[in-house]
């Protein structure tokens, strides 16, 4: 009887086990192209950067040697690196919160507007679809100290406009304005999608419970339900702000007096202008580490306040 029972279990479970193995093999086969792409274009380059960060490799030279942590020790005394790190932090602290909350406010207003909703959505998304290098020329004209319309409007009310992109005291704030203009449209579309997914019944229930004003409905329904969207938008905004490069390269080249030099521009200078690939790789490792730490801290703090549905 024991042998019959064992045979019965074998017959019962063998087809199921075969099916599971077949599904697993199919899953691996379908995932293989993505896995290969991730390994080739993400994992291997990151590994190469980490290894090169411990060398004195320079473009144009045949050989190189391992120097241990010398590149990282040099970063601790590099005034340009410290300045670029500070500029990146200031830029991110300005662009991220303003672009997130401005996009949220615009999304709420557009979502309530039944007429022209598609027009405003397209208009605000245009900066995302536009070629930033080409649009930088427009901003260069707008910020021009003598012929720019911004200073012309300030002159009309008796205020002398500054040299927006040419003065150390204003250049980083000018670039932040461009960064906000560039980010708001993308964040706006994400918030609009989040607002659309909120059930209308929740607003009716909140009104029955005494939430009469728009602020009460926003505080009790809209803001909690937008938790996952806000978390995602904030994460993307921080990443994009830390990765700022095109506007700096096109408009200021890190000047004047390195007042607008940011991390990615410093890495570009070291790796492709001064050809110090080993040192640039060490800077890249520090840059990636800072980015990962920021994301981890943000998720630890903000994810606790998110209400998932």
Residue 169 lies in a domain: yes
Q: Are residues 31 and 155 in the same domain?
A: no
85, part of any domain: yes
- What whole-number distance in Å separates Cα of residue 86 and Cα of residue 262? 8
On whether both 169 and 22 belong to a single domain, the answer is: no
Asked whether residue 247 is assigned to any structural domain, the reply reads yes
Q: Look at residue 149 and tell me if it is in a domain.
A: yes
- 48 within domain boundaries: no
Number of domains within the chain = 2
- Is residue 251 in a domain? yes
Residue 184 in contact with residue 127, Cβ under 8 Å? yes
pTM: 0.85
User: Does one domain contain both 33 and 160?
Assistant: no
**Sequential pLDDT tens for the chain (309 residues):** 445 444 544 444 556 677 778 888 888 889 999 999 999 999 999 999 999 999 999 988 878 899 999 999 999 999 999 999 999 999 999 999 999 999 999 888 888 766 667 777 777 777 777 777 778 888 999 999 999 999 999 999 988 889 999 999 999 999 999 999 989 989 998 998 898 888 888 888 888 877 778 888 888 888 888 888 898 899 899 989 999 998 999 999 998 899 999 999 999 999 999 999 999 999 999 999 988 888 888 777 766 656 555
CB 163 within 8 A of CB 145: yes
Are residues 209 and 139 part of one domain?
yes
Do 293 and 198 fall within a single domain?
Answer: yes
Residues 28 and 110 occupy one common structural domain: no
CATH number, domain containing residue 146: 1.10.3720.10
Asked whether residue 5 falls in the same domain as residue 150, the answer is: no
User: What is the model's pLDDT at position 11?
Assistant: 47
Q: What is the pLDDT of residue 177?
A: 94
Are 209 and 251 in the same domain?
yes
- Is there a single domain that holds both residue 104 and residue 202? yes
**Residue 295 confidence (pLDDT):** 80
Q: Kindly state whether residues 229 and 177 are assigned to the same domain.
A: yes
Let me know whether 214 and 262 are in one domain: yes
- CA separation for the pair 137, 154 (Å, rounded): 21
In this structure, the answer to whether residues 171 and 99 fall within a common structural domain is yes
Supply the range of the domain harboring residue 6.
Answer: 1-37
> Residue 206: what pLDDT?
83
In a domain, 62, yes or no: no
On whether residue 103 sits in a domain, the answer given is yes
């Amino acid at each position: 009887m024991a042998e019959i029972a064992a045979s019965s279990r074998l017959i019962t479970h063998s087809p199921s086990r075969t099916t599971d193995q077949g599904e697993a093999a199919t899953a691996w086969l379908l995932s293989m192209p993505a896995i290969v792409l991730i390994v080739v274009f993400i994992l291997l380059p990151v590994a190469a950067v980490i290894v090169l960060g411990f060398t004195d490799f320079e473009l144009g030279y045949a050989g190189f040697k391992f120097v241990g942590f010398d590149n990282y020790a040099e970063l601790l005394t590099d005034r340009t690196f410290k300045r670029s790190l500070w500029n990146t932090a200031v830029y991110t602290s300005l662009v991220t919160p303003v672009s997130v909350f401005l996009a949220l406010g615009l999304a709420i207003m557009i979502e309530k507007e039944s007429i022209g909703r598609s027009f405003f959505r397209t208009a605000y998304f245009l900066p995302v679809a536009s070629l930033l290098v080409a649009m930088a020329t427009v901003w260069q004209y707008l910020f021009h100290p003598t012929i720019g319309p911004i200073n012309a409007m300030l002159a009309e009310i008796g205020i002398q406009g500054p040299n927006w992109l040419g003065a150390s005291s204003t250049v980083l704030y000018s670039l932040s304005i461009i960064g906000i203009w560039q980010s708001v449209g993308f964040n706006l579309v994400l918030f609009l999608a989040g607002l659309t997914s909120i059930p209308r019944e929740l607003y009716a229930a909140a009104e029955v419970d005494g939430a009469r004003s728009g602020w009460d409905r926003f505080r009790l329904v809209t803001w909690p339900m937008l938790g996952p969207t806000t978390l995602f938008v904030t994460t993307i905004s921080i990443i994009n702000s830390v990765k700022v490069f095109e506007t700096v390269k096109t408009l200021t080249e890190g000047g004047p007096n390195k007042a607008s030099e940011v991390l990615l521009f410093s890495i570009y200078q070291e790796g492709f202008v001064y050809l110090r690939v080993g040192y640039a790789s060490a800077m890249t490792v520090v840059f990636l580490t800072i980015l990962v730490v920021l994301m981890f801290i943000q998720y630890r703090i903000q994810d606790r306040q998110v209400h998932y549905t």
